A and B are shown apart, each in its own frame.
Chain A
Amino acid sequence: MAETYVVDSDVGFINALAGLGAEDLKKCYQCATCSVACPISPDTRPFPRKEMIAASWGLKDKIVGNADIWLCHNCGDCSTLCPRGAKPGDALAAMREYTIMDYAKPKALYKAVSDPKKLPALLAVPAVIFLVLGLVLKLFGVNWLNFAPGAEEFWQADFINNYLVDIIMVPTFMWSVAVFALGLKRFVADMHANALAEGKTSREKIDPAGFFQALLRVVPVIFKHEKFNDCSENRERSTAHMMVLFGFIGLFIVTTCFFIADWVFHIDGPYTQLNPVKWLANVSGLALIIGSLLLIKNRYAKKDQLSRYWDWYLVGLVLALGLTGMLSQMSRLAGLAGLCYTLYFIHLMFVWTLFAYTPFSKLAHLVYRTTALAYNEYAGRQ
């Protein structure tokens, strides 16, 4: 604090934020109503007042790598109460998007993900991969892509073999993990530098074990949506968000179980509906569908909050995943083979999209917010 901060305003940063929904950012006149209104802002060095001035002064280094912007759960209280209409809630959302963009490499992918015109191309990528890889493997006699699957006693793997799915999905997942890992390395270092500069932590260095323990302490908080629920405005959103989160977790468990069943125990599907894993799968799928529908409904209802393609992309994708998955299963049970295969193919495209583009989409908040919350827990920020 004793050192003098050198201001290096970046007009481009301000314009970029404006393009991400913070066009009213500069209206802020620093009354700090937002910081007072915010139910989850810490007592010392509260946000978002300081983020508002830093952003409107174009001080990128005070925003990207600022853990505080991830403490916000966008309830919108600040925007509602802001006397100048500067919409701090939308501004913070824009700052988070900018952060995701900043840490995601390659940048071109972020640009594609955030551009509705590129959506068909993005969805075409997995289709091409599946078809090309499937056909290439066919040349080598590996018949994992069957264009004439049976219609009696069938399941989706007759059409696209699970091995084909897995050899594509697993590396894709790993790619995302790698992209995240690279981003997180910088993100954590930046967060710590920012916290030191702004006097938000007393810890000098990050000790990995301590950080991991903090992460473990934060996970139940995230699962219980405690912070989320602190914003009274958020109750409805919180339930929907929880359904989606647990839907994903449930499906992740289901996928892992069947992955092991397939690769280790070589138990072929389709699995009976009496299988408890299958119960979990159906409940999770339903949670995903209902949760995402609720999120969409809330977004439509909330007129004072900005909803951009960035937001619709994610909820849309979740709904599409849930619906294609569930409908594919239902059409299988109904014996509608053609429909079932088609839906399954689409479903796989969406799954791949989810995996591959996560670091470049709003879903990246899953990683960044969790890390930021863990960091704040570690830094002792109350």
Chain B
Amino acid sequence: MDKKYGVYICTGCGIGDALDAQALCGVAEEKGLPAKTHAFLCSKDGVELLKKDIAAGTNTLVIGACSRRVNYDTFSFEGCIVDRVNLREQVVWSHPRSEFPALTDEQKDDGVHFDRLQMLAEDYLKMGLARVEKVDLPQPFKVESLSRKILVIGGGMTGMSAALDAANAGYPVTIVEKEDVLGGHARQWRAQLPLGDPYDRLAPPLVDAKIKAVMSHPNIVVKTETVVARIAGEPGEFVVTLKKPGEKIEFDVPYPLPDEMKLDEKGNELDAEAQHKKYMEYNEGKTDILTFDPNGELFGAVILAAGWRPYEPDEGEFERFGFGKLPDVVSNVQFEEIAKKGKIVRPSDGREAKSVVFVQSPGGGDDADFAYAGAVTSLVSLKQAKYVRSDFPEAKAYVFYQHMRTPGLSENFYKRIQQDPGIFLSKGEVVSVSQNGGGLVVEADNTLLGEKIRVHADMVVLATGMVPVTKDDPVINLAYRQGPGFRDNALFDDYADSNFICFPYETQRTGIYAAGGIRRAMTVEESMEDAAGAALKAIQCLESVNRGVSVHPRSGDMTFPDFFFQRCVQCKRCTEECPFGALDDDERGTPKPNPTRCRRCGTCMGACPERIIGFADYNIDSIGSMVKAVGVPSEDDYEEPPLRILGLVCENDAYPALDMVGLNRQSYSAEVRFIPVRCLGSVNVIWIKDALSQGMDGVFLLGCKHGDDYQCHFVKGSELADTRMRKIGEALSSLALEEERVAQFQVAIDDYDKLPKIINDFVEVIEGLGPNPFKGF
């Protein structure tokens, strides 16, 4: 595209009072670009001015005004490249003239004094101008044969709900269920937890009605006794091979080579081709992931609703409860089966169970609930206590818990159960269960009764947890180079969760949305709500892929990583580091991009040592040019030149936090120049080298928390950046530069009040180190 530039400086919101707008225009005019000022650019009048210029052919706009996080729609113009130079939040609002005074007439051009604030603004403008020169308007990526079909894995309550929700929204759905009937665990239940107002009584199971609705829905195909052999391809055109459970076929998903098999006898890493050969041997009988099943069925998105299985204790794990030895000590799932059959009777002798003790916690000095429990097991114990009471009017049910969790309106259910004269609740630790004549004796300590107590029981029920089936098996069987399942599930206790509080249903694989018991222990009511969420996400995926834009979290982003393959050295770093498994390398190690799997974080761009990966509007050159546009004054310019420090800032959390600093009129050093990046994972070390080699005195990265409680929108970005920065330290010392000149700081979006100190402290460290010796070269 032929770029026709236009530079616009807004003088509203205090910008014009603090800065010399004419001098700013001069910066553009020096480059031969037209520049205009306006007192109120986001007003109708201001926007008209822009539109008039656009009509006259301007298509590349640099707008020096407020942060790009505000007035987003106002300054968005079809077919135009727009760069927003943040003169308001990050220049004038965070650098008051009272602290950064303007020059007096005598001070101007005296070689000693300089106007830090004006310099800051002019640098940002130059950086904006540099960027727009290097970026292009994105063109959408379209898959060849888009499928609007949604695959639902699992035919339990969650899967059926998700299928109905998606089908009712007009999308064709296929449910695969490994059993020979739909319904899952819900078929085994006598009653369900409260489903609606007033949330205080049990409801008849919904499962039969759901099955009927699914079976009669014209948009839903049900395949029972079917599992997923592999899902290849990418969102919009997943190629799915289905099979009967237990079958072995060539399109069973291959597993990645374990790390130790990637080495030769001497412990050196094998080359790509040798590794591939070993990998094919390792997966004998299976085709490679890049071979698509010609008979595979196309799907656009997948909902993973494979659910849970009952917890199976290790040998002797629940010995203190006699579980496994005493027949009348059962799990909550077993108890439910008994209850489903009729009045509650003891497994040992078929006698009516009129005193039942429910145990919520494995005890042993720890107050944790049973593993994989959550609030559901609390609610289920209350439900089952009610069964006992409704079967026999004189019956007694005791519940010993460490935590009684009845979230939300299920509190009403708890209250109602508590009111039952024959149900006894107490915090406490069950110490032992033993046989006593014809019954059981339960001993509990630290109860609300204030002493060790003993209860005679006919049955004891352990509130064991709901284990997500992804703990045992990937289930989704993705034909992805990184492997068939999700990575890092161990971080989430094996649940297929994303740990994005803000992003439920998202998994680490675009186009695959998890719902129900696979995500965490949940009730049917919660699972059905979850199913609706996952169905909506699957639809969002289809409707984004359809338009060639990113799904999440950069929803609507039309860019995608572009590879300049001629220069690829097959190092596989991009394939390995992509947090979303978007890249599959071939037998030689050349990455095969799958753009619709991609979330556009740019981690591949940050990883690539050859710098051959970039996006239309965000690439090595565009950011590199911004770095180079920063003016680095030396002793030739001023007696004591100011420092120049580069801050590469994650635009998801750190950048808005920086804006909030300005919004709250807190101030920080004017020596720092910020460049927003998509994710710290996208930071390529070349930018840091560029900055230091042109004489900048320090560089810091500002991004999300990493580690087990990471807050990175792209899961791995800030963690990868941290690793890379640690490695860059070695490179710096070889250049005789101090390692301290490069740092990374973790901030959350609400940490704005801590930012001025973080920034100023770093500036102080750099001041202590003295100016960059490369300055002026």
Contacts of A58 in B (CB 8 A): 421, 424
Shortest Cβ distance from B425 into A: residue = A29
> Does any Cβ of B come within 8 Å of A27's Cβ?
yes
A6 to B449, CA, bound (A): 11
Is B421 within 8 A of A7, CB to CB? no
Is A7 within 8 A of B455, CB to CB? yes
State which of B214-222, B412-420, B461-469 sits at the interface with chain A.
B412-420
**Which residues in chain B, 419-457, are within 8 Å of chain A measured between CB atoms?**
419-422, 424, 426, 443, 448-456
A14 and B421 in contact, given A27-B415, A53-B426, A54-B449 (Cβ under 8 angstroms): yes
> Does any Cβ of A come within 8 Å of B45's Cβ?
no
A124 to B644, CA, bound (A): 107
Partner of A26, one of B421, B426, B454: B421
A4 and B396 in contact, given A26-B419, A27-B415, A27-B419 (Cβ under 8 angstroms): no
> Does any Cβ of B come within 8 Å of A9's Cβ?
yes
**Which residues in chain A, 214-245, are within 8 Å of chain B measured between CB atoms?**
none
> Does any Cβ of B come within 8 Å of A146's Cβ?
no
Contacts of A14 in B (CB 8 A): 421-422
Closest-CB distance, A98 to chain B (whole angstroms): 14
Is A4 within 8 A of B443, CB to CB? yes
Is B449 within 8 A of A57, CB to CB? yes
> Does any Cβ of B come within 8 Å of A382's Cβ?
no
**Which residues in chain A, 1-37, are within 8 Å of chain B measured between CB atoms?**
1, 4-9, 11, 14-15, 18, 26-27, 29-30
**Which residues in chain A, 118-148, are within 8 Å of chain B measured between CB atoms?**
none
Contacts of A15 in B (CB 8 A): 421
Is A26 within 8 A of B420, CB to CB? yes
A18 and B421 in contact, given A4-B443, A7-B455, A27-B415 (Cβ under 8 angstroms): yes
Partner of B418, one of A4, A18, A29: A29
If over half of B's interface residues share one DSSP class (helix, strand or loop), that class is named, otherwise mixed; here it is mixed
Is A11 within 8 A of B415, CB to CB? no
A240 to B453, CA, bound (A): 44
Contacts of B398 in A (CB 8 A): 7, 9
Closest-CB distance, B401 to chain A (whole angstroms): 12
> Does any Cβ of B come within 8 Å of A50's Cβ?
yes
Closest-CB distance, B679 to chain A (whole angstroms): 47
Contacts of B396 in A (CB 8 A): 9, 11
Contact mask for chain A residues 182-220; partner B; CB cutoff 8 A; 1 contact, 0 none: 000000000000000000000000000000000000000
> Does any Cβ of A come within 8 Å of B394's Cβ?
yes
Is B452 within 8 A of A57, CB to CB? no
Contact mask for chain A residues 86-113; partner B; CB cutoff 8 A; 1 contact, 0 none: 0000000000000000000000000000
A117 to B340, CA, bound (A): 47
Is B453 within 8 A of A27, CB to CB? no
A5 and B452 in contact, given A11-B396, A53-B426, A57-B424 (Cβ under 8 angstroms): yes
Contacts of B420 in A (CB 8 A): 26
Contacts of B453 in A (CB 8 A): 4-7
Is B424 within 8 A of A9, CB to CB? yes
Contacts of B422 in A (CB 8 A): 9, 11, 14
Is B419 within 8 A of A50, CB to CB? no
Contacts of B419 in A (CB 8 A): 26-27
A59 to B448, CA, bound (A): 13
A347 to B232, CA, bound (A): 99
Shortest Cβ distance from B445 into A: residue = A4
A5 to B453, CA, bound (A): 5
Contacts of B452 in A (CB 8 A): 4-5
A153 to B592, CA, bound (A): 127
A7 to B442, CA, bound (A): 10
Is B394 within 8 A of A4, CB to CB? no
A30 to B760, CA, bound (A): 52
Contacts of A4 in B (CB 8 A): 443, 451-454
Shortest Cβ distance from B396 into A: residue = A9
Contact mask for chain A residues 336-347; partner B; CB cutoff 8 A; 1 contact, 0 none: 000000000000
Contacts of B426 in A (CB 8 A): 53, 57
A30 to B447, CA, bound (A): 11
A242 to B547, CA, bound (A): 87
Shortest Cβ distance from B423 into A: residue = A26
Partner of B448, one of A1, A5, A11, A30: A30
Is B449 within 8 A of A5, CB to CB? yes
Shortest Cβ distance from B420 into A: residue = A26
Is B454 within 8 A of A5, CB to CB? yes
Closest-CB distance, A1 to chain B (whole angstroms): 6
Shortest Cβ distance from A53 into B: residue = B448
Contacts of A8 in B (CB 8 A): 456
Is A27 within 8 A of B421, CB to CB? no
A7 and B418 in contact, given A53-B426, A53-B449, A57-B449 (Cβ under 8 angstroms): no
Contacts of A18 in B (CB 8 A): 421
Shortest Cβ distance from A32 into B: residue = B448
Contacts of A53 in B (CB 8 A): 426, 448-449
Residue of A57, A58, A59 most packed against chain B (CB within 10 A) = A57
Closest-CB distance, B398 to chain A (whole angstroms): 8
Contacts of B456 in A (CB 8 A): 6, 8
Contacts of A50 in B (CB 8 A): 449-450
Residue of B396, B448, B451 most packed against chain A (CB within 10 A) = B448
Shortest Cβ distance from A12 into B: residue = B394
Contacts of B449 in A (CB 8 A): 5, 7, 50, 53-54, 57, 59
A9 to B385, CA, bound (A): 15
Contacts of A59 in B (CB 8 A): 449
Is B394 within 8 A of A11, CB to CB? yes
Partner of B451, one of A1, A30, A56, A57: A1
Closest-CB distance, A3 to chain B (whole angstroms): 8
Shortest Cβ distance from B397 into A: residue = A9
**Which residues in chain B, 317-342, are within 8 Å of chain A measured between CB atoms?**
none
Closest-CB distance, A219 to chain B (whole angstroms): 33
Is B448 within 8 A of A27, CB to CB? no
Residue of A1, A14, A53 most packed against chain B (CB within 10 A) = A53
Contacts of A30 in B (CB 8 A): 448
A53 to B420, CA, bound (A): 14
Closest-CB distance, B164 to chain A (whole angstroms): 39
A30 to B450, CA, bound (A): 11
Shortest Cβ distance from B442 into A: residue = A7
A54 to B454, CA, bound (A): 14
**Which residues in chain B, 484-518, are within 8 Å of chain A measured between CB atoms?**
none
Closest-CB distance, A206 to chain B (whole angstroms): 23
Shortest Cβ distance from B450 into A: residue = A50
A8 to B456, CA, bound (A): 8
A15 to B584, CA, bound (A): 69
Shortest Cβ distance from A16 into B: residue = B421
Closest-CB distance, A194 to chain B (whole angstroms): 13
A59 to B454, CA, bound (A): 13
A7 and B454 in contact, given A27-B418, A58-B421 (Cβ under 8 angstroms): yes
Residue of B394, B418, B424, B452 most packed against chain A (CB within 10 A) = B424
Contacts of A7 in B (CB 8 A): 398, 424, 449, 453-455
Is A11 within 8 A of B443, CB to CB? no
A59 to B415, CA, bound (A): 21
Is A5 within 8 A of B451, CB to CB? yes
Is B454 within 8 A of A11, CB to CB? no
A11 and B421 in contact, given A5-B449, A5-B453, A6-B453 (Cβ under 8 angstroms): yes
Could you write out 28 A-B pairs with CB less than 8 Å apart? A4-B443, A4-B454, A5-B449, A5-B451, A5-B452, A5-B454, A6-B453, A6-B456, A7-B398, A7-B449, A7-B453, A8-B456, A9-B396, A9-B422, A9-B424, A11-B422, A14-B421, A14-B422, A15-B421, A26-B421, A30-B448, A50-B449, A53-B426, A53-B448, A53-B449, A54-B449, A58-B421, A59-B449
- Partner-B contacts on A (CB < 8 A): 1, 4-9, 11, 14-15, 18, 26-27, 29-30, 50, 53-54, 56-59
Given contacts A18-B421, A57-B426, 16 further A-B contacts (CB under 8 A): A5-B451, A5-B453, A6-B456, A7-B398, A7-B424, A7-B454, A8-B456, A9-B424, A26-B420, A27-B415, A29-B418, A30-B448, A50-B450, A53-B426, A53-B448, A58-B424
Closest 8 CB pairs of A and B: A14-B421, A4-B452, A7-B455, A11-B422, A6-B454, A4-B454, A26-B419, A5-B453
